Amino acid sequence: MIKEIKPANSLRGEIIPPPDKSISQRAAIFSLLHDGISEVKNFSKAEDPNSTLSCVQQMGAQVKRSNESLLITGTGRRGLRKPEKDLDCGNSGTAMRLLSGVLVGSCVPARLVGDESLSGRTMTRIINPLEKMGAHILARNSAYAPLFVTCNDGLKPMKYELPIPSAQLKSCILLAGLFGEDVTQVIEILPSRDHTERLLELDSVVTHGRKIISASRADEIPNQSYTIPGDFSSAAFWLVAGAIHNDAEIMLSGTGLNPSRNALLGVLEEMGADITIENERQEGAEPVGDIVVKSSDLRAIKLDPNIIPNCIDELPVIAIAMLFAEGISEISGAGELRHKETDRIMATGEILRAVGADFEEKEDGFIIHGNPDFTFDSAEFKSYHDHRIAMAASILSLKGTNPSKVIDAESAAVSYPEFWQHLKAASGN
Ligand code: S3P
């Protein structure tokens, strides 16, 4: 689908971001592992969480939908079923990596498949440690899906220092560890999103700046009865849209504010954005609030590489903010972007170059020469079937003089099916 996006005269109103994708996927998997019923409110209707939900159903979870909630009856760790068909993870790296951990821990054999994008993303980061824990994983070219996951005898627990700051890898190992008689420990040097530890109430300690998280069979798996907060990563598009637009005031109600996810707030504040947070509260294990963003005068920023894991999914839209900020901005230490749904350093560069921006690509990031008065007429943006690239390009389109086009815009539904409706409501287009 090609979406035409008109420039916006103003951006105003209240947006309720869609339910958090990462938390929804975890709610589905952890509800399967809980022996009993979980009532999950505000479960995401996006494609990735739907893929995860159908996988957990194939593994034995029973799912009933009532008005605003999902009732998920889990099998517990002992009752998992061998799926009769392939587990189709669609576009979701989180589904493939977290479910692999569950399959290895439980020693349930299965084949995991994904769409073209997911089948092109390396799985060696999980294959190597899972094989050390006793798994046999057959992968295309030893690295790519389809993955055929089997094991022989019992799980070998381990102490594992994460070689990359990845919440998917961390969660994969911890989920396998939950089946072991002895404790598995994951050591994290740079903090990545911590939903798994929070929602499973796993023990963790911080020593010498490293976080050590433990999991074993002795850990109870709590029921997952809570309300999923609004997705900060979806709210991010509006935070940037509001900050760069000359006539904007947007309220993002009920947005998740988990500190391991919300580094964009600090980034935008350091750039001079007018952002306030109201009504901070707790929804289950996660902090939530209403964020208000207004038109702002932005200045350039050099991002601290240590915060990259806490704004990893927001980097393409941060690049848009950098384009409208006074001065030279820089991101480095973000090589992981090359392993996302598409190579997001390349794709972000394509979007910015399409409007004539001064974008310098680096192996692990980029440099952008920004200007608050930057203007362009219109552009045709390639999204590379990547939801976050499609939405970042749409936010940029709002600043053109004439309508722009976003190619393969349907990919937004991977995380944010309501995006187009919200765009229309906020911009009046
Ligand atoms: C996710 C973790 C991040 C993120 C992805 C979702 C998760 O990936 O980019 O969109 O749900 O754990 P990595 O852990 O590979 O960095």
Nearest in space to 199 (alpha carbons), one of 25, 64, 71, 51: 25
pLDDT score of 159: 98
In tens, the pLDDT along 94-114 reads 999 999 999 999 999 999 999
Rounded Cα–Cα distance for residues 233 and 255 (Å): 9
Q: How confident is the model at residue 153 (pLDDT cuts 50, 70, 90)?
A: confident
pLDDT at 415 over 90: yes
pLDDT at 421 over 90: yes
Tell me the CA distances in angstroms from 106 to 57, 80, 156, one per residue in order.
16, 8, 12
Give the predicted TM-score (pTM) of the model. 0.98
Written as six digits, the tokens of 304 are 């601290």
Shared domain for 161 and 92, answered yes or no, is yes
Shared domain for 200 and 288, answered yes or no, is no
Whether the CB of 167 sits within 6 Å of ligand 1: yes
Q: What is the mean pLDDT of residues 146-166?
A: 94
Query: 255: domain range?
Result: 2-19+229-427
In tens, the pLDDT along 248-295 reads 999 999 999 999 999 999 999 999 999 999 999 999 899 999 999 999
Ligand 1 nearest-atom number relative to CA 164? 16
Written as six digits, the tokens of 275 are 């952002």
CA of 428 to the centre of ligand 1 (A): 33
Whether the CB of 199 sits within 6 Å of ligand 1: no
Contact 224, 31 (CB under 8 A): yes
Domain boundary among the residues 145, 179, 213 is at: 213
Shared domain for 267 and 347, answered yes or no, is yes
Report the share of the chain in percent with pLDDT over 70. Answer: 100
Written as six digits, the tokens of 192 are 């990545």
Q: What is the mean pLDDT of residues 408-415?
A: 98
Q: How confident is the model at residue 68 (pLDDT cuts 50, 70, 90)?
A: confident
Residue 69, classified by CB atoms within 10 Å of its CB into exposed (0-12), middle (13-18) or buried (19+), is middle
Nearest in space to 260 (alpha carbons), one of 2, 22, 16: 22
User: Is residue 223, in this structure, part of any structural domain at all?
Assistant: no
| Length of the chain (residues) | 429
pLDDT score of 429: 80
Biggest CA-to-CA distance, the chain:
64
Q: How confident is the model at residue 340 (pLDDT cuts 50, 70, 90)?
A: very high
User: Is residue 85, in this structure, part of any structural domain at all?
Assistant: yes
Number of neighbours of residue 70 by Cβ within 10 angstroms = 22
Give the position of tokens 């799985």. Answer: 123
- Quote the crossing angle between the two packed helices 344-354 and 315-323, to the nearest 10°: 30
Shared domain for 189 and 53, answered yes or no, is yes
CA of 312 to the centre of ligand 1 (A): 8
Decide if 313 is catalytic.
Answer: yes
Rounded Cα–Cα distance for residues 369 and 360 (Å): 9
In tens, the pLDDT along 315-338 reads 999 999 999 999 999 999 999 999
Strand-strand pairing, 87-88 and 327-331? unpaired
Q: What is the mean pLDDT of residues 415-423?
A: 98
Shared domain for 145 and 253, answered yes or no, is no
In tens, the pLDDT along 344-390 reads 999 999 999 999 999 999 999 999 999 999 999 999 999 999 999 99
CA of 168 to the centre of ligand 1 (A): 5
Shared domain for 268 and 203, answered yes or no, is no
User: Is residue 219, in this structure, part of any structural domain at all?
Assistant: no
pLDDT score of 152: 81
Rounded Cα–Cα distance for residues 145 and 118 (Å): 7
Shared domain for 202 and 342, answered yes or no, is no
Q: What is the mean pLDDT of residues 295-322?
A: 98
pLDDT at 225 over 90: yes
- Quote the crossing angle between the two packed helices 167-177 and 124-132, to the nearest 10°: 20
Contact 129, 176 (CB under 8 A): no
Domain boundary among the residues 143, 178, 213 is at: 213
Number of domains in the chain: 2
Ligand 1 nearest-atom number relative to CA 309? 16
pLDDT score of 294: 98
Ligand 1 nearest-atom number relative to CA 26? 11
Give the mutation target among 22, 94, 124, 262 for probing the ligand 1 site: most ligand atoms within 8 A of CB. Answer: 94
Whether the CB of 283 sits within 6 Å of ligand 1: no
For residue 75, which phi and psi values (nearest 5 degrees)?
-95, -15
Whether the CB of 336 sits within 6 Å of ligand 1: yes
User: Is residue 128, in this structure, part of any structural domain at all?
Assistant: yes
User: Is residue 220, in this structure, part of any structural domain at all?
Assistant: no
Residue 22, classified by CB atoms within 10 Å of its CB into exposed (0-12), middle (13-18) or buried (19+), is buried
Rounded Cα–Cα distance for residues 390 and 398 (Å): 13
> In sequence order, which residues have a C-beta less than 8 Å from that of residue 82 and are 6 or more positions away?
108, 109, 110
Shared domain for 326 and 404, answered yes or no, is yes
In tens, the pLDDT along 163-220 reads 999 999 999 999 999 999 999 999 999 999 999 999 999 999 999 999 999 999 999 9
Rounded Cα–Cα distance for residues 178 and 221 (Å): 9
User: Is residue 224, in this structure, part of any structural domain at all?
Assistant: no
Rounded Cα–Cα distance for residues 204 and 120 (Å): 33
Instruction: For the sheet with 135-140, list strands across it.
Output: 87-88, 110-113, 144-151, 135-140
User: Is residue 173, in this structure, part of any structural domain at all?
Assistant: yes
Domain boundary among the residues 162, 186, 213 is at: 213
Rounded Cα–Cα distance for residues 395 and 390 (Å): 9
Contact 1, 400 (CB under 8 A): no
Nearest in space to 261 (alpha carbons), one of 191, 321, 319, 213: 191
Shared domain for 324 and 354, answered yes or no, is yes
pLDDT score of 312: 98
For residue 34, which phi and psi values (nearest 5 degrees)?
-80, 135
Shared domain for 357 and 276, answered yes or no, is yes
Shared domain for 58 and 197, answered yes or no, is yes
pLDDT score of 67: 79
Ligand 1 nearest-atom number relative to CA 171? 12
Q: How confident is the model at residue 154 (pLDDT cuts 50, 70, 90)?
A: confident
Sign of CA dihedral 229, 231, 235, 236: positive
| Nearest CA owner, ligand 1 atom 10 | 313
User: Is residue 409, in this structure, part of any structural domain at all?
Assistant: yes
Number of neighbours of residue 67 by Cβ within 10 angstroms = 5
Whether the CB of 263 sits within 6 Å of ligand 1: no
Q: Which member of 313, 358, 364, 377 is catalytic?
A: 313
pLDDT score of 375: 97
CA of 403 to the centre of ligand 1 (A): 33
On average, the pLDDT of the chain sits at 97
Strand-pairing partners, residue 328, are 369
Query: Is residue 91 classed as helix, strand or coil in its secondary structure?
Result: coil
CATH number, domain of 126, equals 3.65.10.10
Nearest in space to 387 (alpha carbons), one of 368, 406, 360: 406
Strand-strand pairing, 248-256 and 69-73? unpaired
Shared domain for 205 and 268, answered yes or no, is no
